[in-house]
Amino acid sequence: RQDILAAQGPVLHMACAMCLFATLLCIMTVASIGLLVYLAYEYSKHSTDNCDVPLQLWVQVVSLTALFNLACNQHDRYGTLGARIFCGWSFDPENPERPPFRVQFYNMLIPSFTALWNCVGLYWVSKAHEPR
């Protein structure tokens, strides 16, 4: 009996870690959607304001990136639509193989661009001045 309990310990810890991760993922998803809605609301209020940094462009690119990720970057059993369109490659579940370099590059490029663009936006916000 002790051996069984000792063997179940790591499994229970892993189950707790997975539940915690799933909970945090749900919270972060709701927060991300809320921030995107708030961003759209603020953009609708201030889209015609003059700004010394291109924050309107930043918001437009963030919106297009979010739409692109919703439409083209969703994984299904054949890979992503973006990989099929832009890389000409489709995953075959009957014959699984490693994606070619162009698909791996595409899969790294999209999140890297998003992270870099968000950093650029934070930099621009820190340099922006209040309109007088």
DSSP classification of residue 54: -
Contact 38, 45 (CB under 8 A): no
According to the model, what pLDDT value does residue 32 have? 93
3-state secondary structure of 75: strand
pLDDT band at 131 (very low <50, low <70, confident <90, very high): low
Using alpha carbons, list the distances in angstroms from residue 13 to 9, 17, 23, 120.
6, 6, 15, 39
Q: Tell me if the pTM is above 0.75.
A: yes
Q: Which has the higher per-residue pLDDT, 132 or 110? A: 110
Contact 92, 86 (CB under 8 A): no
Cα–Cα distance measured from residue 110 to residue 116, given in angstroms and rounded to the nearest whole number? 10
| Model pLDDT for residues 80-111, shown as the tens digit of each residue | 888 999 999 998 888 888 999 999 999 999 99
